[in-house]
Structure 1
Amino acid sequence: MTVLTLNLYHQRFVPFRHPSTMNAIAPLCRHTLRSSTRLPQARQLQRASLLTSRPRHPQPASRPTSFPTRHYSSNTDNMSFSNTDTGNKPADPYTATNIQDPGLKEKVEDLVNFVSRCKFCMMTTETPNGLLASRCMALAAKEGHGVDYIFHANSESGKTDDLAAHKSVNLGFLNNSGEWASISGTASVETDREKVHQYYSPALKAWVGDLGDGKHDGGPDDPRIVVIKVTSKTAQYAVSRRTAIGGAIEVAKGVLTGEAAQVNKLRHLDEQELQTARS
């Protein structure tokens, strides 16, 4: 006769093929069945006990869904946007290591010399529909002791439409050594022929062309040729403090030691300093 016994490990019935042992195992089966029916109840009681006795962890504070409006500062100790906390260590080691604030004369001279060597820059304007647009511009001249900048332009090009809608511009200078300058200011489009004659270059004819009508000939009296003057409000720049080999050694040392490379003279000129430089 075959009976079913309860496998205690897997909680399932399996055939048992020894009839002579039925009487011996019957009490065990009955005990096991009673225990198995009580097991879910015991587990539920135990789980409820754990839930009530388990210490409650404080709920994390709700996080803002967006960052508040912030204003950037050139001072790394007072940055208004932060994604972490570095304690008493500088969060921006490059800036902390390379920032300099020498006398105004030195700061202005180094900026003027760098801009003069670069010659070309990217002028960024805001389009009438609010987008940013950049184009390469050749520096024609400097005014205000070197801190204001003159460019030639075609009055019928898109940049003059941008400046008619928004006066703010940025000039970005960069050379192949990684030195750079970022100058923010306001631009004006000057059509005065005396001003145009002052800065006119015959090379402009290659850019505006001669339309053959005796008026739009690419000469100094061509009404399409205008001057854009950028009056600087702030300037930031970085020029090398070492030779190319010295800079490479400093960078390699930084990779090995984890210390920020001291390779540039990082400087800032505010609006008041630029106004003083003009006087």
Structure 2
Amino acid sequence: MSDQYSAASSTSPSLTEKLATLRAFFKAQKAVILTTRAEDGALHARVMAIAEITPDWKFRFIYDKESHKDVEVENDSHVNIAVDGTQNNTGWASIAGKAKRVEDHAVVEKLWNPTIKAWFADKGDGVHDGTPSDPRVVVFEVKVDEIRHFHQEKTTLGTLVDVVSSTISGSTATPGSIRTITGEEIAGAWARNELKEP
């Protein structure tokens, strides 16, 4: 079922275009909200910085495997990544996916930057020192099930005009369109070598 925004949109971009626009959208964001589910069903959200979006669209974060999110993903791998770009007029995105822990320290080394150490206290035992070799430092990887990206198509002024005119006319304001991308679409494009290195 099409949403009211997409139904009113005059464009129907290709998967390649949607993914290119989305990658640019994420590149402009400093952080996202990652939500996991506790054993009692409670949803817990926290701010995270994306370490990498792989060419086949896996989202990777460096994190502490002794944290609550690790326990929660062991219980239920379903997670959500959300980001609000409306402050800079770029829309928003919500990614539903499944998470897992990646304990490959070659990957950690690749994604590491010195500021990450600030999030890992040095326990003074020569092992848990907040460096890439620290066994607590692992990668949280999310494989996409579905992406919903509200692509802002009008400027701030254009959106304001749209809202005012829609209020007067009784129609629905359409400052952009919701673009839906499934994990199956991404996997198919990857298998066909249609996804390029970012």
Please indicate, yes or no, whether the TM-score normalized by the shorter chain is above 0.5. yes
Of the three residues 103, 109, 112, the one matched with 2:23 is 112
Task: Name the CA distance, whole Å, in 1 between partners of 2:170 and 2:82.
Answer: 30
After TM superposition, give the deviation of residue 109 of structure 1 in Å. Answer: 1.0
Q: Say which SS state the counterpart of residue 118 (structure 1) adopts.
A: coil
| Greater Cα offset, 155-164 or 260-269 | 260-269
Of the three residues 58, 66, 71, the one matched with 1:156 is 66
RMSD, matched Cα:
1.8
Alignment of 1:141-152 (within 5 A): 141-145=52-56, 147-152=57-62
Task: Name the CA distance, whole Å, in 1 between partners of 2:30 and 2:143.
Answer: 17
- Residue 207 of structure 1 corresponds to 119
Q: Contact 2:5/2:177 (CA < 8 Å) preserved in 1?
A: no
CA offsets 1:121-142 (integer angstroms, 9 cap, x no match): 1111111222211111111111
Of the three residues 24, 37, 42, the one matched with 1:126 is 37
Q: Does 1:252 align with 2:143?
A: no
- Residue 48 of structure 2 corresponds to 137
Please tell me the residue identity of whatever aligns with 2:70. Answer: T
Task: Name the CA distance, whole Å, in 2 between partners of 1:190 and 1:216.
Answer: 18
Please tell me the residue identity of whatever aligns with 1:206. Answer: A
Task: Name the CA distance, whole Å, in 2 between partners of 1:168 and 1:210.
Answer: 31
Q: Contact 1:254/1:260 (CA < 8 Å) preserved in 2?
A: yes
Alignment of 1:1-279 (within 5 A): 75-76=1-2, 93-94=4-5, 96-98=7-9, 101-145=12-56, 147-175=57-85, 176=87, 177=89, 179-279=91-191
TM-score (norm 2): 0.88
Task: Name the CA distance, whole Å, in 2 between partners of 1:215 and 1:152.
Answer: 18
After TM superposition, give the deviation of residue 98 of structure 1 in Å. Answer: 4.2
Q: Say which SS state the counterpart of residue 50 (structure 2) adopts.
A: strand
After TM superposition, give the deviation of residue 199 of structure 1 in Å. Answer: 1.1
Task: Name the CA distance, whole Å, in 1 between partners of 2:61 and 2:188.
Answer: 23
Task: Name the CA distance, whole Å, in 2 between partners of 1:144 and 1:164.
Answer: 26
After TM superposition, give the deviation of residue 275 of structure 1 in Å. Answer: 1.1
TM-score (norm 1): 0.63
Q: Contact 2:6/2:177 (CA < 8 Å) preserved in 1?
A: no
Q: Say which SS state the counterpart of residue 255 (structure 1) adopts.
A: helix
After TM superposition, give the deviation of residue 277 of structure 1 in Å. Answer: 3.4
Do the aligned partners of residues 269 and 100 (structure 1) sit closer, same or farther apart at CA in structure 2, a change above 3 Å counting? farther
Task: Name the CA distance, whole Å, in 2 between partners of 1:278 and 1:241.
Answer: 27
Q: Say which SS state the counterpart of residue 215 (structure 1) adopts.
A: coil
Q: As a proportion of its length, which structure holds more helix?
A: 1
Mark the runs of 5 or more structure 2 residues left unpaired by the alignment.
192-198
Q: Say which SS state the counterpart of residue 66 (structure 2) adopts.
A: coil
Percent identity between matched residues is: 31
Please tell me the residue identity of whatever aligns with 2:92. Answer: W
Q: Contact 1:98/1:263 (CA < 8 Å) preserved in 2?
A: no
CA offsets 1:213-247 (integer angstroms, 9 cap, x no match): 21111101011111011111111111211111111
Report the number of matched residues.
Answer: 189
